[in-house]
């Protein structure tokens, strides 16, 4: 379950940023497999850290998630529409968006009950491979120190056949 939460947070941020782009990335359409490695640093008050000292906390070390997604030109357009709606609902602003034929980067700031700010960078190595990084700092207002989430992603094109995965949908592999 935690793997799914980490993957969802990473891809939600990417979705916010991708919603700002006018064109699809320079990659092939079809089945993509993405491996994401996320490390979360909880900045807890000293008294809480003292209580947790020596305890093995799941999800604190690097968490690896592998997903498969079916991307078509139509599902790309649909995902942009959905991401734009989510962005409005979450009070998020994307700035410093830069995209060219080999890379894309952006910053994001979200306000509301919880706040977040972050930066993402993708490099399109070929039409069949891309990699990226994402750094997020999130705060719920209860703790003065933000929770930090760093994610690296690598995605490879598996083929034009989506192997039963519906366009725009994904499947958790591990």
| DSSP structure string for 62-82 | -EEEEEEEEE-HHHHHHHHHH
Query: Considering Cα of 151, then 156, then 158, then 162, what sign does the dihedral take?
Result: positive
Encode pLDDT of 106-164 as tens digits. Answer: 898 888 777 889 999 999 999 999 999 999 998 877 776 788 999 999 999 999 999 99
pLDDT at 8 over 60: no
Round to whole Å and give the CA distance between 37 and 139. Answer: 21
Question: Which helix (H) or strand (E) element contains residue 86?
Answer: helix 73-89
Encode pLDDT of 56-109 as tens digits. Answer: 555 466 889 999 999 887 887 776 666 666 666 667 788 888 888 888 888 988
pLDDT at 31 over 80: yes
Domain extents for the chain? 2-172
SS3 percent helix, strand, coil of the chain, rounded to 5, is 25, 45, 35
122: left (phi over 0), alpha (psi -120 to 50) or beta: beta
CA distances from 169 to 70, 145, 172 (A): 6, 35, 10
């Amino acid at each position: 379950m935690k793997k799914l939460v980490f993957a969802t947070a990473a891809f939600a941020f990417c979705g916010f940023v991708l919603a700002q782009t006018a064109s699809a990335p320079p990659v092939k359409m079809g089945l993509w497999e993405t491996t994401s490695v996320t490390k979360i640093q909880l900045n807890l008050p000293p008294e809480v850290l003292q209580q947790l000292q020596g305890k093995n906390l799941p999800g604190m070390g690097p968490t690896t998630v592998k997903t498969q997604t079916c991307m078509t030109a139509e599902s790309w357009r649909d995902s942009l529409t959905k991401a734009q709606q989510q962005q409005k609902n979450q009070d998020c602003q994307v700035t410093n968006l830069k995209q060219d034929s080999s890379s894309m980067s952006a910053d994001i700031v979200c306000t509301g009950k919880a706040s977040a700010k972050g930066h993402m960078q993708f490099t399109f190595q070929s039409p069949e491979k891309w990699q990226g990084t994402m750094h997020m700092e999130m705060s719920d207002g209860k703790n003065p120190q933000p929770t930090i989430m760093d994610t690296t992603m690598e995605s490879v094109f598996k083929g034009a056949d989506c192997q039963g995965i519906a366009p725009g949908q994904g499947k958790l592999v591990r």
